[in-house]
Amino acid sequence: MKKILEAVWILLVIFTIFAFLLGKLELVSSVMVAVLLLSTFIKAQLVIDYFMGLKNVQNKYRFIPTLWLVVVISLIAIAYY
Amino acid sequence: MSKSLKIKELYPPGDFGIWIVIYVELLTFGLFFIGYAFSRKYNLEMFNTSQLTLDTQSGFVNTLILVTSSYFVVKAVTSIKNMSENNLAQASQTASKWLIAAMIFGGAFLVNKVLEFSTIFGEGITLSTNKFYMFYLLLTMFHFMHVLLGTIVLFNLYSKTKLHGYTPTDCRGLESGASYWHMVDLLWIVLFPLVYIIR
């Protein structure tokens, strides 16, 4: 369990650095926005599953924030493209 | 086989009420995020030009601060959940140290954000400057207030943890506060790329 939490934190940091570099190096293109949104989805799902602890709870409680995430990220993508 | 038979908890960690709060907050912020995305679609040039004035580095640092602080909080909860009767004092001490670290990071987020706001306001920018700044200020200030409240909650959790107030079977208050703090982190994880990066 300990190692999982550390791994999640490292992934969150890596995805954050990736997002920052995209902006800083002005690499934001249509393709990269798709990658950025996917990485944002993964980051948020990691927080929901491992930090909020919903991975080990009945699916309906995990389903609500995951559905929220899918709807919000999808609509951001629709608005962008 | 043991994996597939693993029994899941009936309820999420913490009090049920906090999850109602969390779901409502997610819905509210979600509407703001979608509103921002579609307003941007119809005011593309103005959004892209205004976004250039934001301090991306500050947003990046604040994201690192929040995800790390969230990690500290989950470590505090894990310390309490894994404690045994013989190490109650030690586990509480460890958890309280994680909570202090989380609180300091929460404070650092607030200081960094105040500096960012002071720069923005110093340039004469207000809610009515344009639609981008209206969304930027509403979203980030609303989120700021959540971080402020979360930091106060962390302080209360720390005070009780230091007094050995939580045990593995009686830590719903700690779990509720932790869940709230993770929600604050979750919201920022979506806010940062949306407002600071995507253009």
Q: Which residues constitute the domain of residue A58?
A: 2-80
The phi, psi pair for B37, rounded to 5°, reads: -60, -40
How many Cα neighbours within 13 Å face the side chain of B120? 25
Residue B74's closest chain A neighbor by CA?
A: A51
Q: Does A11 touch chain B (CB under 8 A)?
A: no
CATH of B17-197, one of 3.40.50.300, 3.40.1280.10, 3.30.2130.30, 1.20.120.80: 1.20.120.80
Least confident of A20-24, A53-57, B84-88, B168-172: B84-88
Instruction: Summarize pLDDT for A54-72 with one digit per residue, the tens.
Output: 999 999 999 999 999 999 9
Task: Residue B89: count other Cβ atoms within 10 Å of its Cβ.
Answer: 10
Substitution target in A5, A40, A52 with the highest count of B β-carbons within 10 Å is A52
Percent of chain A with pLDDT over 90: 93
B98 CA to centre of own chain: 16
Q: Does A58 touch chain B (CB under 8 A)?
A: yes
The interface pTM score, or ipTM, of the predicted complex is 0.96
* Residue-range domain boundaries for chain B: 17-197
- The whole-angstrom separation of Cα B41 and Cα B55 is 22
| Shortest distance, CA A33 to any CA of chain B (angstroms) | 7
Mean pLDDT calculated for residue range A30-56: 97
Report yes or no on whether pTM surpasses 0.90. Answer: yes
Q: How many domains does chain A have?
A: 1
- The whole-angstrom separation of Cα B81 and Cα B73 is 12
Instruction: Summarize pLDDT for B72-82 with one digit per residue, the tens.
Output: 999 999 999 99
Angle between helices B131-162 and B88-122 (to 10 degrees): 160
Q: Report residue B138 as tokens.
A: 């509403």
The phi, psi pair for B9, rounded to 5°, reads: -65, 150
